[in-house]
Amino acid sequence: MKIEMKETLSKKILTEAKGYLNVGFTHSLNPYSGCAFSCRYCYVREMPIQRFKEIPWGEWLDIKTNAAENYRNEIIKLRRKNKPVNIFMSSATDPYQPIERKANITRAILAEMIENPPDFLQIQTRSPLITRDIDLIIRLKEKCEVLVSMTIETDREEIKQIFASYAPGIKIRLKALKEIHDAGIPTQASISPVLPFTPDFPKQLKGIVNHVWIDTLSIGDGSMGKRSERLGMPKVFEEHDLSKWYRKDIHVMVEKYFHKYFPSEMIRVSKKEAFPK
């Protein structure tokens, strides 16, 4: 897919967490606007940043070249006011876009965080490119709490192809998660949104995660399923004969199943008002 990319100077990089984002996190941080992974279920498609744009989601990307500098200025101000800083990176893009390999925006932010750490950083991605930055994350972990959360919505590649064909494959995400965990960095598998998986899915996550996060298209879209409905998700499930997986209580069933493999303290389930990604 052709992507229209441009470099931009953003006024701010930390966005105060509001509403459904405001669950333990004080800020979200998006090093890019737009997202090359273009997942079909992505709730950002239904947000003003995309709804008022003429170019389709997945076909544009703004590279925030001054992100690290903004971060430094903003955190210094927050610290002067003694404010806690718990960051979710990222809520409306993936911090490890393919262009990150060259642009190094996220890497520069991490380097800056080592100098001026937040209290907590959760890195949310579905890209194995994050392993490039293991060196910096290890150093950051000495300064603040860090969690690397890898989105792994399913263990079935053919299902991933239906919903997120431009996103990295599942096997390489699992491999990256293992590498990060082996490096001593706390990890989470974010089954978000839950997509149909094989009975062996929990076994594949064993030993490579500290937590499992379970979220669904009905809860995690920030509008209790309305955005997912507007994106036509029920129809996509139906077309592929997967409707039994599109039910409002699917998180309850998935949690129950994962409990056979993981103790309760390792499983986190998105509830109403919980953080969506």
Could you list the residues that contact ligand SF4 (CB under 6 A)?
A: 35, 37-39, 42, 44, 93-94, 126
Taking the complex as a whole, how short is the minimal distance between the CB of residue 39 and ligand SF4, in angstroms? Answer: 3
Calculate the CA 240 to chain-centre distance: 25
Spatial separation of the C-alpha atoms in residues 188 and 147, rounded to whole Å: 7
Judged by CB, which is closer to ligand SF4: 39, or 75?
39
Least CB distance to ligand SF4 at residue 193 (A) = 9
Biggest CA-to-CA distance, the chain: 55
Q: What is the closest distance, in whole angstroms, from the C-beta atom of residue 38 to ligand SF4 in the complex?
A: 5
Q: What is the CA radius of gyration of the chain?
A: 18
CA 130 to chain centre: 12
Return d(Cα 218, Cα 254) in angstroms, integer.
Answer: 14
- Our CB check for ligand SF4 shows the closer of 75 and 148 to be 148
The answer to whether residues 49 and 33 touch, using CB atoms and an 8 Å cutoff, is yes
Crossing angle of helices 134-141 and 170-182, in 10° steps, is 40
Which CB atom, from 44 or from 209, has the smaller least distance to ligand SF4? 44
Q: How far is the CB of 10 from ligand SF4 (least distance, A)?
A: 17
Q: With both helix axes pointing from N to C terminus, report the angle between 134-141 and 105-115 in degrees, rounded to the nearest 10.
A: 20
- When the beta carbons of 75 and 195 are compared against ligand SF4, the nearer one is 195
DSSP string, 99-157: THHHH-HHHHHHHHHHHS--SEEEEEES-GGGGGGHHHHHHHHTTSEEEEEEE---S-H
Q: Cβ 28 to ligand SF4, closest distance in Å?
A: 12
Name the percent of the chain in helix, strand, coil, to the closest 5.
40, 15, 45
Query: 38 vs 154, which CB is nearer to ligand SF4?
Result: 38
Closer residue to ligand SF4 (CB): 67 or 75: 67
Q: Which two tokens stand for residue 193?
A: 């949104």
We find the least distance from the C-beta atom of residue 30 to ligand SF4, in angstroms, to be 9
Shortest Å distance, C-beta 239 to ligand SF4: 20
For ligand SF4, which is the closer residue by CB, 39 or 195? Answer: 39
